[in-house]
Each structure stands twice: as C-alpha cells, then as structure tokens.
Amino acid sequence: MSQTTGPVLAMGAVTVVNQTVFHDEPMDWRVPVATGLAALGFSLAEKAWPQGARILAWTALLTVLLSRTKPSVPSPVESALTWWRESE
C-alpha cells in the first residue's frame, strides 16, 4: 500500500461523516467514487514523484478539514468548534 492511501482515504471518510452523520445531508455517492479514484491516482503519482505526492496528499487532507465542500455544510473544523462551544 502506498503512503498516500491513508490521507486520501481519510479525506473521503471525513467528508462523508461530516455531511451525512453530523449534518444530516443525504449520502453523496460521488465522494466515495472520487476517493477511490484519487487513491489510485495518488498511488500512481507516488511512483513518479514520491515526496511530492505525499506532500500533496497531506495538503489535500488539511484543505478538506478547513474548507467547505458544500456552501451550506460547515467544514469539519467549523463543526468541531461548534460542538466544543456547545459542550462548555
């Protein structure tokens, strides 16, 4: 298994859980399909440029955590901050 598979699968999992579990949106089946294709693409890119592919995969995961994939659904970090403030 390539070293970029973990961050890429985490991107897909975070996106699905944030939208469907935490915000009651319907399941968007394009996300798991895109995650699988991205994992395949990153594993191929890692053979050509290992360090660059790993850096890009981790940067993409950070981007998914900080940005909204849908304008109406808060990002995972926004959701975590809202939960943290409500639990105080």
Number of domains the chain is built from: 1
Asked if pLDDT for residue 15 goes beyond 90, the answer is yes
Q: pTM for this structure?
A: 0.90
Residue 20, domain extent: 5-86
Q: pLDDT tens digits for 25-39?
A: 999 999 999 999 999
The DSSP string of 4-51 is THHHHHHHHHHHHIIIIIIS-PPP-THHHHHHHHHHHHHHHHHHH-HH
- Residues whose CB falls within 8 Å of the CB of residue 32, separated by 6 or more in sequence, listed in order: 12, 16
| pLDDT above 80 (res 51) | yes
In this prediction, residue 45 carries a pLDDT of 96
pLDDT of residue 69: 87
Nearest to 38 by CA among 1, 20, 12: 12
Identify the sign of the CA torsion 67, 70, 71, 76: negative
